[in-house]
Amino acid sequence: MQVNGLYGHVRSNDVRFGERGKPGGVIVRLGTDPVPPADTTVVTWTADDQAPYYCIEPWMGPPNAPEHKRGLELVRPGETRTFSVSVAAK
């Protein structure tokens, strides 16, 4: 897996990270539907190649959505939206 990356077109709400067969992996569950919305994007990054960690950021839309307006989530005054994420060790 490439650590610094953008992953779109996610086909399952369970996104798994870590080396196969090694401890320390995680499962990030995006919402409760079997397949998340089409614009869901998962971003992974780390400070540098020697860092003992990496970060996983689930996004509700694609990169730069405020600029190109595709996948932009707008919540009008008085409305609510929910984007749920859970994280578990695998």
Structural domain including 64 reads 5-89
Q: Which residue has the higher pLDDT, 19 or 59?
A: 59
Radius of gyration of the chain, Cα coordinates, nearest whole angstrom = 15
Using pLDDT thresholds of 50, 70 and 90, give the confidence band for residue 2: low
pLDDT value of residue 80: 94
Structure-token pair, residue 72? 């932009």
Q: Which residue has the higher pLDDT, 42 or 24?
A: 42
Q: Does the predicted model carry a pTM greater than 0.85?
A: no
Task: Give residue 74's identity as a one-letter amino acid code.
Answer: L
In 26-61, which positions are buried (b, 16+ CB within 10 angstroms) versus exposed (e)?
eebbbbeeeebeebbbbebeeeeeeeeeeebebbbb
Count of the separate structural domains present in the chain:
1
16 to 10, 35, 82: CA distances (angstroms):
11, 14, 22
Residues 26-68: pLDDT tens digits? 899 999 999 998 889 999 999 888 888 888 899 988 888 888 8
